[in-house]
Amino acid sequence: MNSGGSKGWLLQRISGALLFLMLGTHFYLYHYFMGPADWGFQSIGYGATDLEALKALALADPSRSTYYALAGLFANPVWKAFDIILITLGTYHGFYGIHSIIDDWMTHNTRRNLSNWLVYIIGFVLWVIGIVSVISFNPQLV
């Protein structure tokens, strides 16, 4: 029914296992680590040269501390790369999953193929939007 299905099947397991590991880190970073007034960035290999400037900005305007926390995190290219990999695995795993459901439930060939292509296109566009968002996040240190 689906040529190359076993490769996709295996990739779904691999991406799932990687997402299991990476999502824990993702939640920790964005819900706990970037929480109120936590400035322990050095502990995760912080790469910015203007850490002190970021800290001063955040202290001057605490309401914007989350923005500066993310600016600090993304100053390290490792964390931008982490998010790019996460988006890639997430959109792949999610949209392959939708594709599997379509293959299982849709019996009409033309409709199934059209639905699958629609899902691939939506997934690809979403992936591009995600990648562009991460790459283009350049903190405005005003």
Q: Where are the alpha helices (DSSP H) in 28-142?
A: 51-60, 65-74, 77-105, 109-136
* 90 forms part of the interface with other proteins (CB under 8 A): yes
Which pair of structure tokens corresponds to residue 78? 């490792």
Binding piece for other proteins, criterion CB under 8 A, among 40-48, 64-72, 109-117:
64-72
State which residue, 32 or 42, has the beta carbon closest to other proteins. 32
* 47 forms part of the interface with other proteins (CB under 8 A): no
- d(Cα 55, Cα 63) in Å, to the nearest integer? 13
CB 68 within 8 A of CB 47: no
Considering only 66, 76, 88, 116, the residue that binds other proteins (CB under 8 A) is 66
For residue 63, give the DSSP letter.
Answer: G
Coil, strand, or helix at residue 43? helix
Considering only 53, 56, 85, 101, the residue that binds other proteins (CB under 8 A) is 101
Terminal-to-terminal C-alpha distance of the chain: 57
For residue 139, give the DSSP letter.
Answer: -
Binding piece for other proteins, criterion CB under 8 A, among 19-27, 40-48, 106-114:
19-27
Binding site for other proteins (CB under 8 A): 13, 16-17, 19-20, 23, 31, 35-36, 63-64, 66-67, 70, 87, 90-91, 94-95, 97-98, 101, 104, 126, 129-130, 132-134, 136-137, 140, 142
